Structure 1
Amino acid sequence: MHSRNDARFKLSALAIATSLALTACGGDSDHNDVGGGETPQMQRLTRIATLPLGSEATGLFLKDDGEVFTNIQHPSDANTTVDAEGNIYKFATVGVIEGADVRKPFTAVSVPETPEEKQVMRVALGRYNVLGQQGDAWAGAPQPSLGGIAVANGQALIKVSNDPDFNGWVPVSEDEGYLFTNWEDRPGGMSRLHLIRDGEGRWVVRDNDATMVDFSSVNGTWVNCFGTVSPWNTPLTSEELYFDDTIEWNSPGEGGVQDLADYLAGEINSDYDAAYPNPYDYGYIVEITDPTGTPTPVKHFSLGRYSHENSVVMPDQKTVYMSDDGSGVILFKFIADTAGDLSSGTLYAAKVKQDTVPMDAAQVGFDIEWVELASGNNAEIQSWVDEYDGITAADYVEGENSYISEQQINDWAEAKLNQDLDNSGSVAANPFGDDRVAFLESRKAAVKLGATGEFNKMEGININLKRARNGVEGDGPQAYVYVAMSDISGKMTDSNGLVQLTNEDTHCGGVFRMPLEAGYNVSRLEMVELGGPYKPDDAANTCSVEGLASPDNVAVMEDGRVLIGEDTSHHENNMVWLLDPNG
């Protein structure tokens, strides 16, 4: 078990007695508010949980038994209310909704009203079990604490993150497994908790088996965001680069780069230039191999470099769909050369055609055409990355690019298409003689080749493996790839380009889906649930509390329903929802 030596974590005798009594009789603890005694009436949207003030819902992962991992990211440090189990939610929290099956009917949790309700985690069913909070330490843990991000040699602590994100569950048995949790920071991190179920049916951290994953072999990570577990049971963590233009990477004083330099150097406030990070080392999908042994990271350069929010592998173990977070972003696809091996294959980007232009976002649909960028493998791409080692802030010249320039990207695309894209009067030769541009500057390369770079805040993308396989390879119902967009604005709502959406509810974001076809291809993207309604005069909840606001991570049930976690300032308390697309 992890230890907390602060008095704030101690349960009062009354709280313990109340909690045990409720557990013994099968009732809900008092941070569950389900409108006692009512028969559950499931709606199209049913509220599963409300989160403490200041926090967002991250890390949604649906276990096979219907329990749900979900985290509390960066809650307000003004949260002081103690719940019935002795938890205070002013610290980032990794947890699980346990003791109930979210797949079965339940009554929605209410919207919090009192100051005390707003400061705690409230769930509609079961109980929320706090597995750990930022800074918790376990006996024998080699890293300083949960969320602690140390330098590469482990000798100094850079920070303790308060941003847990993706949860990936790798089961060993019905009552044992490993929980991998991203820590979305610069440098990034990932924890692994070895969980067992105790005699009371609660998940606990096994003594001396909690650690932070060692990323030193891949030069560290950057902003580990959402993720999935592959069909072969390895966690896939996403590096959300959020650094779209390398021209400023080695600008003196660039935020976050000093921390990366410290990580690589093995000391705080290191010589900035001596261990200067290479930008092309970051912005990939990282697979954690040997997850139940010695977790070992492998960066898959082959899947492209951009602001990865998430990747999801189809049941064929070759086709991968990937979301790109930020402004003016792209939907990507990858097809591996070999099933179960993401180290080599072909990268594609989506070119979309909107049904009508402009169009109401609530009914919008797009046809998808896939633009091939290039084929490559990790080893070859790694050799291209290494060519940019040793560039430091001393090489920075304002207005010039120390890395791959816009002109080089244009010239690569001209050579590939045999077209004069910049109206220079001639078609340029490939400046590299290879396809490094496709993998190291994937977003810009895709746009140059004709893909649509107009999406905004493309978040979690996911499937249900069993439903997807049955829907494509068997006689099961239609299966979909779901993708959330938390803020439908910018290039999605302007009057230019291929994407032009109308409806003020776009401020609240929405969830889209793509029907899976033969061969796990998709050729259609359509809105399934627009957020809102938008209520600009409501200062606390500018999006209705009866609808979505800034949907972020998603998980899909075998019956086709969808779990959705929010990352929003449009709700006073972020929420976790269950969406029934047929409701």
Structure 2
Amino acid sequence: MYLRNDARFKLSALAIATSLALAACGGDSDSNDNIGGGDGGGDPQPQMERLTRIATLPLGSEATGLFLKDDGEVFTNIQHPSDANTVADEDGNVYNLATVGLIEDADVRKHFEAVSVPQTDEEKQTMRVALGRYNVLGQQGNDWAGAPQPSLGGIAVQDGTALIKVSNDPDFNGWIEVSENEGYLFTNWEDRPGGMSRLHLMRDQDGRWAVKDNDATMVDFSAVKGTWVNCFGTVSPWNTPLTSEELYFDHTIDWNAPDEGEVQDLADYLAGEINTDHTVTYPNPYDYGYIVEITDATGTPTPVKHFTLGRYSHENAVVMPDQKTVYMSDDGGGVILFKFVADTAGDLSSGTLYAARVVQDSPVMDAAQAGFHIGWVELASGSNDEIESWVDEYDGITTADYVDGENSYISDRQVHEWAESKLGEDLDSDGVVAANPFGDDRVAFLESRKAAVKLGATGEFNKMEGININMTRAKASVEGDGPQAYVYVAMSDITGKMTDTQGVIQLTNDDTRCGGVFRMPLEADYNVSYLEMVELGGPYDPTDAANTCSVDGLAGPDNVAIMEDGRVLIGEDTGNHENNMVWLLDPEA
């Protein structure tokens, strides 16, 4: 079931039979041990024994920006903590501001005892770690000498002359190492408009990391017309940060509505001033919703938007060791797993975009044993330059052009006509196969989610979050020199279209409200063709107001990082734990 030219591939009877047989071998639904492999022997292990709690976060915050350094130290941020937190830690830090930091003087790859669940008000208001110490590198609003924008997390208009906001939402951390004692930390600020900071870090004689000579800046995105909701990310195999624009704007028809406040802030960015007249400079929706690569990371950081990887709510993109194959998660409801294959290794500017079509192992499944066979629907091939020329055709549209119920951009009807033309089929049974309204494949790249569903991809996943691999393990696995490697993907809330009674995905189990972590075995040529649950969150208990999901299990798994030995770091984004947590999962425990 590798790449098919037929966009609406069909599973053979043999594949379906194999799928059902695998489901029958799934094991006891009351245990998560030996999922996806192992000898199945021994006593079942309780879910909580597979998890070790690395950190608990201050009240109100979520754990973002997980990045595992080569020496076992871990970057992790404190996003939007409660402004009511007043307790100071031993270094005098109070966690009522968004914080960028790392667990230092520690190696999470080695054995350690879990940190306890916070009990007192003091414990609940601070950052607590199982090993090492948490080092605050910066907090929102910190003013750095010489920075082109006014503060850490500061989102200014494109010429830097006026401040739109100071974000409290640090997310992705990307570490570009210069030496074992020096490097550059890139951090996303997940806002509208979005931002990214770069901290030049040095380790001092006491082993503590600190900003070097006030070298801390906000990346200039003016060359690409700004950026939008920079969420999670990865560092490419060629050592460039890849930041994800999480579009979260499903209906482009409303983009230029006069009351779209979030878009108005972006209009201010483009205008270069804070104002209320947006009829002259107004953003083009098709300029946003992509993976943005930061080139020249240790010099003058330069953003490059890769239109080729499609436009949707990018949570993350991870490039395989072949430097061509990219897997991408799509955050939101009714979303899609995407794949991209570049024409040239190390160059994401041209290639082919695919979307996953899945078949569940059995019609209705316990989520704890969920498994799906994957086939890849080819959407289109293109280059950044070609796609950007299509984007530019929608420049100049403003709120003055908005008419309620009408569309200033690509309409659903045009998406449908493009799909009929692409497939050569009458999809709506009106007796006519429509002609392509554009004569090109812009729909695939500018309205990727709608295009994928029309061609037969599965648009039923929910809250698809961080997706990641371990580069060394992946390369060894594919080349036959190491154990099986997996692409891991977290889903923070497995409800919506994944648990209804419609469509391909129909999962059961109350614990789905706590989310879960899935994995996909890497195959030859870095393909994947199977998705399986590896750790379901919970248990779920609606009577526990503070911790609706058990504190001994996952809740809202979000960003993930993978160790070379196959273990998985997981950061939470949940309201189902009073204090969000960072975990270490051993899938083979």
**Same topology, TM > 0.5:** yes
Point out the more displaced range, 560-569 or 141-150.
Answer: 141-150
How far apart in 2 are the matches of 1:43 and 1:197? 35
Q: Is the 8 A contact 1:264 1:275 kept in 2?
A: yes
Deviations along 1:438-458, one digit per CA (max 9) or x if unpaired, are 000000000000000000000
**Match for residue 264 of structure 1 among 265, 270, 283:** 270
Q: 1:137 is paired with a residue of what secondary structure?
A: coil
Letter in 2 for 1:109: V
Unaligned runs of 5+ in 2: 1-47
Q: Could you tell me the percent identity over the aligned residues?
A: 83
Q: Is the 8 A contact 1:261 1:270 kept in 2?
A: no
Paired residues for 1:148-547 under 5 Å: 148-547=154-553
How far apart in 2 are the matches of 1:43 and 1:63? 25
Whether 1:74 aligns to 2:80 is: yes
- CA shift, 1:128, in A, is 0.1
Deviations along 1:356-400, one digit per CA (max 9) or x if unpaired, are 011000001000000000000000000000000001111111111
Paired residues for 1:545-556 under 5 Å: 545-556=551-562
RMSD, aligned α-carbons: 0.7
How far apart in 2 are the matches of 1:351 and 1:255? 35
- CA shift, 1:143, in A, is 1.2
Count of residue pairs the alignment pairs up: 542
Letter in 2 for 1:502: T
**Match for residue 141 of structure 1 among 139, 147, 157:** 147
Q: Is the 8 A contact 1:364 1:527 kept in 2?
A: yes
Whether 1:84 aligns to 2:114 is: no
Letter in 2 for 1:544: S
- CA shift, 1:437, in A, is 0.1
How far apart in 2 are the matches of 1:96 and 1:475? 33
How far apart in 2 are the matches of 1:293 and 1:83? 35
Deviations along 1:85-106, one digit per CA (max 9) or x if unpaired, are 1100000000000001000000
Q: 2:261 is paired with a residue of what secondary structure?
A: coil
How far apart in 2 are the matches of 1:308 and 1:421? 28
How far apart in 2 are the matches of 1:420 and 1:399? 26
How far apart in 2 are the matches of 1:266 and 1:412? 37
How far apart in 2 are the matches of 1:425 and 1:168? 52
Q: Which residue of 2 aligns with 1:99?
A: 105
- CA shift, 1:271, in A, is 2.1
- CA shift, 1:140, in A, is 1.7
Q: Is the 8 A contact 1:505 1:530 kept in 2?
A: yes
How far apart in 1 are the matches of 2:148 and 2:505? 49
Letter in 1 for 2:105: G
Q: 2:587 is paired with a residue of what secondary structure?
A: coil
**Match for residue 130 of structure 2 among 124, 127, 136:** 124
- CA shift, 1:206, in A, is 0.6
Letter in 2 for 1:353: V
Q: Is the 8 A contact 1:51 1:118 kept in 2?
A: yes
Task: With the length of structure 1 as denominator, give the TM-score of the two structures.
Answer: 0.93
How far apart in 2 are the matches of 1:269 and 1:252? 14
Deviations along 1:324-344, one digit per CA (max 9) or x if unpaired, are 000000000000000000000
Deviations along 1:413-467, one digit per CA (max 9) or x if unpaired, are 0000011112221000000000000000000000000000000000000000000
How far apart in 2 are the matches of 1:230 and 1:211? 21
How far apart in 2 are the matches of 1:55 and 1:578? 19
The structure 1 segments of at least 4 consecutive aligned residues displaced by more than 4 Å after TM superposition are: none
Q: Which residue of 2 aligns with 1:576?
A: 582
How far apart in 2 are the matches of 1:318 and 1:465? 13
**Match for residue 113 of structure 1 among 91, 95, 119:** 119
How far apart in 1 are the matches of 2:97 and 2:121? 18
How far apart in 1 are the matches of 2:279 and 2:517? 44
Deviations along 1:225-256, one digit per CA (max 9) or x if unpaired, are 00000000000000000001111111111121
Q: 1:116 is paired with a residue of what secondary structure?
A: helix
Letter in 2 for 1:406: D
Higher-RCO chain (CA-CA 8 Å, sequence separation at least 6): 2
Q: Is the 8 A contact 1:138 1:207 kept in 2?
A: no
- CA shift, 1:270, in A, is 4.7
Q: 1:211 is paired with a residue of what secondary structure?
A: strand
Q: Which residue of 1 aligns with 2:25?
A: none
How far apart in 1 are the matches of 2:450 and 2:107? 44
Deviations along 1:284-314, one digit per CA (max 9) or x if unpaired, are 0000000000000000000000000000000
How far apart in 2 are the matches of 1:408 and 1:420? 14
How far apart in 2 are the matches of 1:140 and 1:319? 39
How far apart in 1 are the matches of 2:312 and 2:519? 22
How far apart in 1 are the matches of 2:403 and 2:164? 29
Q: 1:172 is paired with a residue of what secondary structure?
A: strand
Deviations along 1:169-218, one digit per CA (max 9) or x if unpaired, are 00001100000000000000000000000010000001131000000000
Point out the more displaced range, 74-83 or 265-274.
Answer: 265-274
How far apart in 2 are the matches of 1:301 and 1:425? 35
How far apart in 1 are the matches of 2:214 and 2:100? 18
Letter in 2 for 1:343: S
Q: 2:503 is paired with a residue of what secondary structure?
A: coil
How far apart in 2 are the matches of 1:262 and 1:400? 25
How far apart in 1 are the matches of 2:175 and 2:195? 17
Q: Is the 8 A contact 1:545 1:571 kept in 2?
A: yes
Q: Is the 8 A contact 1:81 1:88 kept in 2?
A: yes
- CA shift, 1:43, in A, is 3.8
Paired residues for 1:556-575 under 5 Å: 556-575=562-581
How far apart in 2 are the matches of 1:379 and 1:496? 40
Q: 2:171 is paired with a residue of what secondary structure?
A: strand
How far apart in 1 are the matches of 2:71 and 2:448? 39
How far apart in 2 are the matches of 1:357 and 1:538? 32
- CA shift, 1:474, in A, is 3.2
How far apart in 2 are the matches of 1:326 and 1:423? 30
